[in-house]
């Protein structure tokens, strides 16, 4: 879990630095940074979504995963947890959005999944590289969205730590096709997040998170059926 711990530290340092910078930007400066963050998230989502190997499997994974998330009330549960944390530590109306936005950005990509699994297997190199990017990204997010970004390090640590634990037991990574569809699902989620950040439409992206599991599972099943038919 060395890589996950390092990733958590870089997010803490980056977001703390971003808060210091944000306090000097003024409202117009924060709005500009906020728009840049939204456009960057949109770009990241597009580039990731193009990595999918099986568009039919991806749309099925997104539909099934999102319906599962809706059924579980996942978005509401995440927001309640973030709001409970805000009530304990203080913060403005952007606290929940900052926490959710940062956590989703840091944790839906293939580097998170594969890197965390390999981290558990004793190779933290992928997560270490991701950590540097997350540090700079968290700086921009915190400048625009405030202290909620700092507290995104808590679910990040829990999520990536769980994957590292799985990696330490499983000792293998996902098939390449499944990684592509997982990346595509993560990209679509980030596109939804970008639309929300840019105030174009409110999308409950938290309910889409089960797609990160369902989409690669459908990809694996698709490959298995293709091999035997």
Whether the per-residue pLDDT at 36 is higher than 90: the answer is: no
Q: What does the pLDDT read at residue 128?
A: 87
Q: What domain count does the chain have?
A: 1
pLDDT in tens, 190-199: 888 888 878 7
For residue 186, give the nearest of 221, 211, 217 by alpha carbon.
Answer: 211
- % of the chain with per-residue pLDDT over 90: 9
Q: How far from chain centre, in Å, is Cα 16?
A: 19
Question: Could you tell me the residue range of the domain that residue 183 belongs to?
Answer: 2-228
The string of DSSP codes covering 78-98 is HHHHHHHHHHHH---TTHHHH
| Sign for the pseudo-dihedral over CA of 127, 144, 182, 156 | positive
Name the token pair of 180.
């592509």
Give me the count of residues in the chain.
Answer: 229
Separation CA 59–CA 185 (nearest Å): 8
Q: Do residues 146 and 101 touch, judged by C-beta distance below 8 A?
A: no
Return d(Cα 116, Cα 119) in angstroms, integer: 5
- pLDDT tens track for 131-187: 888 888 888 888 888 888 898 898 899 988 888 887 777 655 567 777 788 788 888
For residue 124, pLDDT over 70 is answered with yes
Short-list 52, 45, 44, CA closest to 180: 52
Supply the pLDDT for residue 64.
Answer: 93
Mean of all residue pLDDT scores within the chain? 81
Residue 130's CB is within 10 A of a number of other CB atoms, namely 23
pLDDT in tens, 48-81: 888 887 888 889 999 999 999 999 888 788 777 7
């Amino acid at each position: 879990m060395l890589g996950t711990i390092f990733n958590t530290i870089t997010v803490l340092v980056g977001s703390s630095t971003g808060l210091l910078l944000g306090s000097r930007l003024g409202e117009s400066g924060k709005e500009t940074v906020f728009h840049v963050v939204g456009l960057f998230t949109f770009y990241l989502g597009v580039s990731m979504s193009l990595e999918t190997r099986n568009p039919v499997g991806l749309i099925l994974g997104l539909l099934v995963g999102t319906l599962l998330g809706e059924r579980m009330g996942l978005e509401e549960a995440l927001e309640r947890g973030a709001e409970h944390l805000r009530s304990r530590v203080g913060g403005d109306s952007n606290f929940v959005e900052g926490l959710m936005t940062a956590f989703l950005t840091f944790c839906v990509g293939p580097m998170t999944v594969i890197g965390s699994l390999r981290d558990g297997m004793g190779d933290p190199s992928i997560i270490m590289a991701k950590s540097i990017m997350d540090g700079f990204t968290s700086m921009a997010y915190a400048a625009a969205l405030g202290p909620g970004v700092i507290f995104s390090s808590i679910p990040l640590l829990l999520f990536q730590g769980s994957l590292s634990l799985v990696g330490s037991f499983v000792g293998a990574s996902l098939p390449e096709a499944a990684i592509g569809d997982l990346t595509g699902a993560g990209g679509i989620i980030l596109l939804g997040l970008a639309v929300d950040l840019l105030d174009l439409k409110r999308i409950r992206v938290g309910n889409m998170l089960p797609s990160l599991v369902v989409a690669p599972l459908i990809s694996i099943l698709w490959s298995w059926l293709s091999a035997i038919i």
